[in-house]
Amino acid sequence: MKIRAELRQRGVDEALVALSFEALDIDWGERVEAVWRKKFSSAAANFAEHAKQARFLQYRGFTSDQIAGVLNSDPIA
Rounded to whole angstroms, the Cα distance separating 40 from 49 reads 10
Within 10 A of 17 (CB to CB), how many other CB atoms are there? 15
Write down the pTM of the prediction.
0.74
Q: Is 17 helix (H, G, I), strand (E, B) or coil?
A: helix
Angle at 19 between CA 15 and CA 25, to 5 degrees: 150
Q: pLDDT (tens digit, 0 to 9) for every residue of the chain, 77 residues total?
A: 888 889 999 999 999 998 888 888 888 899 999 999 999 988 899 999 999 999 999 999 899 999 999 998 765 54
CA–chain centroid gap for 43, Å, is 16
